[in-house]
């Protein structure tokens, strides 16, 4: 049985005091869940969120990292830096980073290898645009993104990687993929992994859905056969709403 992983992606939201308040409010609401609870916060909130989440079941993640260890990369943060302060998860290749900050399949692959070498748990995002969905190329897009992200990884590394299927047209739009479409697309990703890495890996790799997940649709999405939880944007900003998503059943 694959574990459900429910991760919040705050994007560029919340000051440190708001982050601390959020963790304090969330903690009693999710302490009895069997699901993995992750909150991916801005760099400047990491230290505060980590402190508040100590001795709780809430895991803290970053939203990006650089693939290099150190050096002349002004404004960047390395995986080693995240690891050193106790960060457990890192989102890689979010579509906003691909669209606004020139993230490519190649850079995602490099970052992924680095994250895995540091035992950071990566959440790698893939997903098609509306145009690609409507022209019938969604399958080709998500399987190619998956293949290129995972290129050169060992079976164990793929097993340690979480994939988030996030159709771009569903992000922040209030338009959720139907549970059938989301499940079918995630099956395409799982089949691609099966072709490349075999049954054992395909069966154990966690694949989330992301894109306008909220408490009112979490249950129908997360109870589908291949959807192993979610990556939640807007609805992860309020502790009460996010806790309902975590406790979707």
Query: Which residues contact ligand 13P (rule: CB under 6 A)?
Result: 9, 94, 166, 171-172, 210-213, 231-235
Residue nearest to ligand 13P (CB): 233
Among residues 75 and 174, whose Cβ is nearest to ligand 13P?
174
Active site residues: 94, 166
Measured distance CA(22)–CA(239) in Å, rounded: 6
Distance CA 76, CA 66 (A): 6
Residue closer to ligand 13P, measured from CB, 79 or 234:
234
Least Å from the CB of residue 19 to ligand 13P: 17
Smaller CB distance to ligand 13P: residue 153 or 171?
171
Radius of gyration of the chain (CA): 17
**Cα dihedral 190, 96, 89, 67 in deg (nearest 10):** 100
Residue 94 Cβ vs ligand 13P, minimum distance, rounded to whole Å:
6
Pick 38 or 67: Cβ nearer ligand 13P? 38
Contact 248, 219 (CB under 8 A): yes
Which three-class secondary structure string do you get for 119-150? CCEEEEEECCCHHHHHCCCHHHHHHHHHHHHH
Q: Please state the closest distance from residue 212 (CB atom) to ligand 13P, in A.
A: 4
> Contact, 89 vs 61, CB < 8 A?
yes
Query: Minimum CB separation from ligand 13P for residue 10, in Å?
Result: 9
Q: Pick the closer one to ligand 13P by CB: 202 or 232.
A: 232
Q: How far is the CB of 11 from ligand 13P (least distance, A)?
A: 7
């Amino acid at each position: 049985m694959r574990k459900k992983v429910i991760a919040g992606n705050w994007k560029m939201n919340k000051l440190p005091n708001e982050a601390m308040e959020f963790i304090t409010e969330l903690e009693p609401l999710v302490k009895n869940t069997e699901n993995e609870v992750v909150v991916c916060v801005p760099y400047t909130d990491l230290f505060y969120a980590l402190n508040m989440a100590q001795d709780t079941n809430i895991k803290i993640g970053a939203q990006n990292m650089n693939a290099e260890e150190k050096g002349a990369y002004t404004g960047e943060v390395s995986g080693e830096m995240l690891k050193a302060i106790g960060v457990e998860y890192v989102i890689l290749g979010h579509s906003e980073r691909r669209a606004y900050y020139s993230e490519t399949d190649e850079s995602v692959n490099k970052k992924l290898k680095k994250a895995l070498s540091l035992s950071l748990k990566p959440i790698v995002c893939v997903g098609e645009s509306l145009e690609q969905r409507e022209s019938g190329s969604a399958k080709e897009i998500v399987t190619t993104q998956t293949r290129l992200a995972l290129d050169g990884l060992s079976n164990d590394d793929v097993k340690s990687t979480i994939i988030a299927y996030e159709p771009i047209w569903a992000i922040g739009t209030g338009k959720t993929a139907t549970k059938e479409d989301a499940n079918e697309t995630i099956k395409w990703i799982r089949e691609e992994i099966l072709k490349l890495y075999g049954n054992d890996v395909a069966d154990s790799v966690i694949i989330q859905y992301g894109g306008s997940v909220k408490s009112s649709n979490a249950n129908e999405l997360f109870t589908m056969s291949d959807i192993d939880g979610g990556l939640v944007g807007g609805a992860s900003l309020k502790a009460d709403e996010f806790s309902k998503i975590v406790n979707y059943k």
